[in-house]
Structure 1
């Protein structure tokens, strides 16, 4: 699946804002896993940018995760929402120019960010709309981190998308509460969640990881981090293009090339 082959979802006829209002539910620290990953993995991209800007698209009914994003990345952040009431209610949390809240959708309100975070946004759309949304959010050269997580941020997954299309898939979990990697299938990004069926690459990938986790059960004596690391090592040994290193694995993460799991 390659960004650019679809059409960006649009709001009501005549609207300049592309997208739909999300449910808006959120919790403090819900997005800490993806935020910390972006800081570690994409921090160099932000440091090299002459005027780094991060857009947080669809922050929801509360701006708390946008405020946290600004604190974790330490660069200018603008939160965008289609719902004008949500934008208005976020203003007391603004700290211009370092933290602002504006109205906007997939067109990014005409901004030219270095990085875009769009979490728990595309989950409500049809899969056919994903490519267009990706293309709209990366049209000016931004790198997009798009994904989903559970209500408390214990399990999450995200796709990193460049203007050329999706590049990587990352899975992340709180290992102390993870029963099995198969649980992560519940929170796959929209582009993959309906393809977690036998015969599809993402299903084969998750099955390999799940089997490796089961085989590593004896290491539970030494803690879930050791078990997860062994499972990731076995998944990599099975031929899956794992991109990150043990330092990230111990955090409950695993990143692979998107092409290997693409429908």
Structure 2
């Protein structure tokens, strides 16, 4: 087996491990009202890249954590991500019809069930971190606090509020960057730093991982802007063209300028990864992921 095939096999094995553990951690049939359990599992277990948990796992592995030590923490970040998608897609928010190639949860079930599923998943993520007996209690408390902060009033909640109420005023690139960091980057930062913390990394390495994740989050959001502007529903697996009337990096800088901004963020992310000593597996994983997204554009 060549090096590239071995790398892809390892990545796929990690992703499959996340999927298996998510299925175990999701509420089981009979543990809550059947419709709610079905909706949660429909959203959480839908096929996806599992980017946030993969960042956690690869960061932990490269920094010397025992195999599997970060798995539950990684799954908790995926639960938060899934919850954020449910809430973002609601009729009162983005009113989306497709997510990951499937009808959004409020369309597959109903709006009330979607809200309950999203809030339930957020809380379950904290339960998963708190119950991880393989980690010291002090570390579990820190990880839960970082996860909660990523969701709250300086994270996903704030970003969604800006997206709903301030988007028409966001013509300044710095303001757009703040919005994109809150909507996308903060959770990736928590995931990357979470992996480093599980591995017992130094404060300097944890900080470098945060810089990496911030720039990767911004690059991802720009890529999403470009997909919304140029992509198809079939390729994206979700609605496109919904940001046409809004200020985005793509509309503010133009398509070429947005592409250049994305590349600049990727370069800064790569530099931070090298500083953290995580530019092996993790750097390769991120590079492959963006290369595939560019090829599909």
Q: Which has the higher strand share?
A: 1
TM-score, normalised to structure 1, is: 0.31
Q: Which has the higher helix share?
A: 2
TM-score, normalised to structure 2, is: 0.28
